[in-house]
Amino acid sequence: QSVLTQPPSVSGAPGQRVTMSCTGSSSNIGAGYEVHWYQQLPGKAPKLLIYRNNNRPSGVPDRFSGSNSGTSASLAITGLQADDEADYYCQSYDNSLSGSGVIFGGGTKLTVL
Amino acid sequence: EVQLVESGGGLVQPGGSLRLSCAASGFTFSSYEMNWVRQAPGKGLEWVSYIYSGGTTTYYADSVKGRFTISRDNAKNSLYLQMNSLRVEDTAVYFCVRDISGSYFDFWGQGALVTVSS
């Protein structure tokens, strides 16, 4: 059971806009801790997609964007493309946990129809 | 170009030990915090361990505390994970990951598969 909750799957047709949520609580996202997003293509290592809520690393298209509201965060993808089909993970920090406090969501599988 | 290359994975029996290594290149390794993150087959990502740039501070997930030890050799640009008393549930791909200010992970290795089975 992940501390951050993500829908198991979302889908969309090419060219459409999709969003996926990452729901936390008052000890993580709700406390103002930053949310980061990773894309994992099939059989590959995860890749940083969005950092510090809404920033894109160099090379990530502006079709990808992140936002936060209350105890949740969202990742939006516009102009959906076939090679966007992947697993997406959110990550943040939780102040109620031992260790480093790093937490991941369970991941959302994006299917491009 | 930043590169993180893991090695040392393999098949080990329950109760056994294994040491993972991660060779870093393309950046000043000694300036960065590092982590190990694992992914069980068909499952999501799980943070395992963290080490400060100078090696003075380490953290562990409760699931591995007391069994795993993270270390680094900045002179050799290398990160390590010593895994003892391995359990079937430790079976996973282990990723070496660069950390930005204890916040997010900007570069990931390709992963090393550890299989714990009799």
Tell me the per-residue pLDDT of A38-83, one tens digit each, with 9 for 90 and over: 999 999 999 999 999 999 999 999 999 999 999 999 999 999 999 9
Q: Left, alpha or beta for B74 (phi > 0: left; psi -120 to 50: alpha)?
A: alpha
> Residue A48: its chain B contacts at CB < 8 A?
104-107
DSSP assigned state of B102: T
Predicted confidence at residue A97, as pLDDT, reads: 87
A38, A45, A100 ranked by CB distance to B47: nearest: A100
> Residue B60: its chain A contacts at CB < 8 A?
99
> Residue B110: its chain A contacts at CB < 8 A?
45
- Of the candidates B107, B115, B45, the residue with the CA atom closest to the CA atom of residue B86: B115
Taking an 8 Å cut-off on Cβ atoms, the answer to whether B104 and A52 are in contact is yes
Strands A72-77 and B18-25: unpaired
Closest approach of chain A CAs to the CA of B17, in angstroms?
23
A45, A98, A105 ranked by CB distance to B108: nearest: A45
A48, A100, A104 ranked by CB distance to B102: nearest: A100
pLDDT at residue A1 above 80? no
Condensed to tens digits (0 to 9), the pLDDT of residues B44-98 reads 999 999 999 999 999 999 999 999 999 999 999 999 999 999 999 999 999 999 9
